[in-house]
Amino acid sequence: MKSPLEYARSSDTCAYEYVPVPAFEDNYIWVVSDGRNAVAVDPGDAAPVRAYLAKRGWRLVAILLTHHHNDHVGGVADLLADARVPVYGPAGEALGPLDAFVTRVKGGDAVHLEAPALDLTVLDVPGHTRGHIAYFQAADAAGTPHVFCGDTLFACGCGRLFEGTPAQMLDSLDALAALPGDTHVHCAHEYTLSNIRFALACDPDNADLRDWSREAAALRERGVPTLPTTIAHERAVNPFLRAGDAAVQAALTEALHESVPDRLAAFAMMREWKNRFR
């Protein structure tokens, strides 16, 4: 099986760069650039974005927001003070003082940017928050798809259900899992190692997961991001995308001493277990 990194390397011919700029403790602010102009996704803090753009000589031309949490929107006002660039954000969420500056988008809407040239389709992915959206790019110059999914899908995990129901989140994850397998998944946090520890409890006999556990640990030891991941990789190793799998359901029954009537129940049990898993 290809690791996420191998998938990422396969698109090195693409001239655009998709860079995870670290922020706070474990956030990534994804920056997409054509080598001159850049888009920032979920800039919770302006300082690391400014510093990174200055280092590369890139100019910020647009901001994309997935949901209203402060670690995703907290840097927008400062960045707008540097330059008034267009900001796209979820139609279904209040963004306080930013409301006046944000172009609202919802599932099915298209976002077109000139430079970097990006054609994005908005997906509604509620669950972590009520109005959470994701941005899907069907193909970069090399034909590789990309998705910016905020706090919905993580490498080997998914976001907490702060505002939505398990059924909403499962629908959202199903929509993401239905994207092409080679889609690069740009998640907003480096939670991979702790997610893998939990995934191994839910899916202990998954050989792909055990391989990935070793690879991810080696990447983090070298200080390398485990992202982007890919949809194909997540279908293979992410227990939240495998709630219908018999082995996962059996592991849940054994660990939680509860029967698992169906896939939604398995998902809900897993999500609740993850909240208290140490």
Terminal Cα-to-Cα distance of the chain (whole angstroms): 29
Among 69, 184, 186, 189, binds Zn ion (CB under 5 A): 69
Q: Residue 211: is it exposed, middle or buried by C-beta count within 10 angstroms (0-12/13-18/19+)? A: middle
Does 171 qualify as catalytic in the annotation? Answer: no
Does 34 qualify as catalytic in the annotation? Answer: no
**Spatial distance between the Cα atoms of 120 and 14, rounded to a whole number of angstroms:** 17
Does 151 qualify as catalytic in the annotation? Answer: yes
- Rg of the chain over Cα atoms, rounded to whole angstroms, equals 18
140: DSSP letter: -
Binding region for Zn ion (CB under 5 A) out of 45-53, 69-77, 177-185, 214-222: 69-77
For Zn ion (CB under 5 A), the number of binding residues is 2
- In angstroms, what is the minimal distance from the CB of 26 to Zn ion? 12
**Spatial distance between the Cα atoms of 259 and 179, rounded to a whole number of angstroms:** 31
Torsion of CA 74, 79, 80, 81, to 10 degrees: 110
- In angstroms, what is the minimal distance from the CB of 64 to Zn ion? 15
Q: Per CB under 5 A, does 42 bind Zn ion? A: no
- In angstroms, what is the minimal distance from the CB of 141 to Zn ion? 31
Does 233 qualify as catalytic in the annotation? Answer: no
Binding region for Zn ion (CB under 5 A) out of 56-64, 65-73, 208-216, 265-273: 65-73
Residue (of 54, 23, 22, 18) closest to 39 by Cα position: 18
Q: Per CB under 5 A, does 151 bind Zn ion? A: yes
**Spatial distance between the Cα atoms of 25 and 108, rounded to a whole number of angstroms:** 33
- In angstroms, what is the minimal distance from the CB of 57 to Zn ion? 31
Residue 149 or 219 having the CB closest to Zn ion? 149
Q: Which of 34, 189, 203, 233 is catalytic?
A: 189
Q: Per CB under 5 A, does 189 bind Zn ion? A: no
List Cβ neighbours of 112 (8 Å cut-off, separation of 6 or more): 118, 119, 120
**Spatial distance between the Cα atoms of 278 and 262, rounded to a whole number of angstroms:** 26
Q: Which of 42, 45, 68, 69 is catalytic?
A: 69
Q: Per CB under 5 A, does 234 bind Zn ion? A: no
- In angstroms, what is the minimal distance from the CB of 150 to Zn ion? 7
**Spatial distance between the Cα atoms of 253 and 84, rounded to a whole number of angstroms:** 53
Chain Cα centroid distance, residue 72 = 12
Q: Which of 34, 42, 68, 72 is catalytic?
A: 72
Residue 69 or 146 having the CB closest to Zn ion? 69
Strand partners, 103: 88
Does 69 qualify as catalytic in the annotation? Answer: yes
Does 71 qualify as catalytic in the annotation? Answer: yes
List Cβ neighbours of 223 (8 Å cut-off, separation of 6 or more): none
Q: Which of 124, 151, 186, 203 is catalytic?
A: 151
Binding region for Zn ion (CB under 5 A) out of 7-15, 55-63, 103-111, 143-151: 143-151
Residues that bind Zn ion (CB under 5 A): 69, 151
Residues classed as catalytic: 67, 69, 71-72, 128, 151, 189
